[in-house]
Each structure stands twice: as structure tokens, then as C-alpha cells.
Chain A
Amino acid sequence: MNSVYRVNGPRVIFENIEGELILVHMERGTYYSTDEIGAELWSLIEAQSSVSDMCDVLASRYDAQPTEIADAVARFLARLMEEDLVAVGESPGAPRTTVPPVMGGKRPFSPPALQSYRDMQDMLSLDPIHDVEAAGWPVPRSDDEPSVAPAT
């Protein structure tokens, strides 16, 4: 529960566009969209929150049993791992995510879903990947490198 995750940059790019979080895995050419709760979890991943902090944040905002939330978070993270969008990171002494006070009542909870699309795979994955630091963007040679997660 205290593990943290990191975004698999730079091969994973993402942005919240008009309220929808869109992600692209540039090497696989797969793209994704997720819902509000998924986007919230993604922000927490970016902030290097621990899994238990993620659950606490969601529990403070959504109306659901802690076990239901923990289960949904674990499944969402597993899905992100499966799609190579995040990796388990190390964050010695990561600060606890502060839970902002909730305005109004708790919102209804539904497990976050990640929709994946592969119809543009051939086109998106054609971006040449180069292993040198040509323009200030590090490309890790392997997945076991220490967290580089550049701010994207």
C-alpha cells in the first residue's frame, strides 16, 4: 500500500484536454482515455502518492466503502502496469499527499476505467526513438532505471 508509481515517460505522453485525460504510448501506438476518477488517480500517480494515499483521497471525495475503493485503485493500477503506462517507482520519504477539504457532499463512486484504442497503432508508433540525449529528453535504455519521469 505504500508503493508509489511513476509515469513511463517519455514513451508515454498525456494531457487533460477539455476535461478528458488522453494518454498515448508512443512505442506501442496505443491511445487511451479515462474517466474523471481515472484522471484523478493519474494526477496522484504524477504526484508520487502512495497507494494508500490514493485510496484516502478518493475516500474523502467519493461515496464508497474503503474496500471498494482499494479494490478499484488496485485494479486500475494493474491495468496501467499491464499497458506499460506506469512502473513501480521508488520515492524515499515521499511526502504524504494532503487531502484537500471536500466542497459539498461526496460524489457517487464508480470504478475508474481505462479505454484503449489501437486503430492508429501503425501511425503513432512510427516516431523514431533514439537513445541519445539529443535535445534534452532522456530515453531510458531499460525499465529498471531509477525514476527519470521527466515533467511532461
Chain B
Amino acid sequence: MVDAVHGGPRTSIRVSTIIPCHNGERYIDATIRSVLHQGCEGLEIIVVDDGSTDRSPELVRAFGDAVRYVRQPQGGASRARNRGIELATGQAFAFLDADDLWPEGALSRMVAKLESDPSIGMVVGQMEQFVSPELPAAEHLSFRFSPDAVPARMCGTVLVRRAEFERVGGFAPELASGEFIDWLARAEHLGVQTVAIDTVVLRRRLHLSNHGVVRRDARQDYLRVVKAALDRKRATAPRLDPA
């Protein structure tokens, strides 16, 4: 655990935050604000508009120079994040989806941990879920989830050192789901040093158009991710039996 950030929220590691956004008009404003509220100096925010057809562009552009906005034809979150990485100038990368939020101070905690030891390649925080407040009460009840903070390895809970990210490579563009799991499995396979902190660094919004809710069909991609991970494991340790 890192104690209160001493000397204010300054960072010596420059962080680039990459936010892929496809038709995110409903929540993108709140998402960007939650990043700006981190108060980290030198924080770079890159929104990659993945072919939005709604008001996302104007909502993002309203932030002016505080946010770098790029747009590309719709190609999925992997391609959008990869584009963001190409543009990023920071020494560490963080990701946030266009509907989720960072609690105040989350990034400073992650940065402090990363800075505490140069051998750490990636910091992972905790996540808590909430049902988007504008949804009617009946919809709230229909989500089955735990409101507790849980350690969660997902795109929005990690801060990765640039060099380590580059060693692992980008997100697999052919995956519509599970692309972060795939990335993380590759990172683990390469031995990226990962340290968990018990701070909530991501507030994940549950709403009616969550990726997982809408794209049930894309869940088949998880199977491909799992298969690839198994194949990698067997290639290195052919006699390794599952636990």
C-alpha cells in the first residue's frame, strides 16, 4: 500500500491515458472529467473515436487542448487502443473505456507504486461496479453483480510501463471480446512483473449497452483467447499439468 500522496499529485512518470470511444455520447464527458480530476501533471489523454456516429466528437472536442482527439473508421476497441498507443508520448500507459470512471486519486496511487520500484512493469488496482444512475430502478435489479471492490485485472485497472507494453505488443485486432485477457496472458507469459494495489482505481458502469450485454456473440472470442493461452503454456511447458 502506498500512503497518502506526499507533495501533492505530481508525477514524474508521464502517463498517457487512452480512451477508445464508439458512440459514447452518454458517458464520455463524465469519463474524461474523471481523468482530468486525477490532477496529475503532464497527463496525456487520448480519445480514439472508433467511428462514432453520435455526438461523441463534439463532446470530446469541447475539452480543447486538454484532450487529444483522433478518429478512425470503426474497427473495434483493440484497433482503437493500438492507435492510441501509437500516438502516446507517455512513459506509461493507462486505459479507460468511454463509459467508466476513475475515482479521484486513483492514478496517483498507481503511479506512485510504479515509481517505487523500477522492476515493476505493471500495476493493477481494484474495481468496483455500479449501475448507471439514470437507469430505472427495475433495471438496477436486473443486473447481477457484486457492488464490492474486487481485485480485477482488466483494461481500466492497469498502468503499464511503456517498455513492457512494447515488449508484449498491441491488442489483437481480430478479437471483439477478451482482447485484454489475451494481452494479459501474453504479458504473463513474458514474465511482466505485476504488482497489485488494494485501491479502487476503476468504477465500472453497468448499463444497458455494456459491451458484454450487447455483444453476446462476441463472447465466442473468449474461447479463442483461452485456446491461445493454453497453446502458449503447452509450448513452454509441454508436460505441465493443470492445477
Question: Interface of A with B (CB < 8 Å)?
Answer: 10, 13-15, 17-18, 20, 22-24, 26, 31, 33, 115-120, 122-124, 126-132, 134-137, 152
Minimum Cβ distance to chain B for residue A113 (Å): 10
Measured CA separation A130–B141 after assembly (Å):
9
Of A117, A118, A127, A135, the contact of B230 (CB 8 Å cutoff): A117
Minimum Cβ distance to chain A for residue B175 (Å): 13
Of A23, A24, A116, A120, the contact of B185 (CB 8 Å cutoff): A120
Residue in chain B with minimal CB distance to A131: B142
Minimum Cβ distance to chain A for residue B181 (Å): 5
Contact A17–B224 (Cβ < 8 Å): yes
Interface size class on chain B is 35 or more
Q: Can you report 6 residue pairs joining A to B where beta carbons are below 8 Å apart?
A: A13-B223, A15-B220, A20-B227, A118-B243, A122-B151, A123-B152
CB-defined contacts of B230 to chain A, threshold 8 Å: 20, 22, 33, 117
CB-defined contacts of B150 to chain A, threshold 8 Å: 122
Contact A13–B222 (Cβ < 8 Å): yes
CB-defined contacts of B142 to chain A, threshold 8 Å: 130-132
Asked whether B63 is an interface residue with its Cβ less than 8 Å from the other chain, the reply is no
Contact B143–A128 (Cβ < 8 Å): yes
Q: Which of B48-56, B71-79, B111-119, B209-217 contacts A (4 or more CB under 8 A)?
A: B209-217
Given A122-B150, A122-B151, A127-B212, are A26 and B227 neighbors across the interface (CB < 8 Å)?
A: no
Given A131-B144, A132-B142, A134-B214, are A120 and B181 neighbors across the interface (CB < 8 Å)?
A: yes
CB-defined contacts of A134 to chain B, threshold 8 Å: 208, 213-214
Contact B242–A24 (Cβ < 8 Å): no
CB-defined contacts of A128 to chain B, threshold 8 Å: 129, 143, 145, 206, 210, 212-213
Residue in chain A with minimal CB distance to B185: A120
Asked whether B184 is an interface residue with its Cβ less than 8 Å from the other chain, the reply is yes
Asked whether B180 is an interface residue with its Cβ less than 8 Å from the other chain, the reply is yes
Q: Which of A10, A15, A126 has the most CB of B within 10 A?
A: A126
Q: Which of B139, B144, B154, B206 has the most CB of A within 10 A?
A: B144
CB-defined contacts of A23 to chain B, threshold 8 Å: 223
Contact B213–A123 (Cβ < 8 Å): no
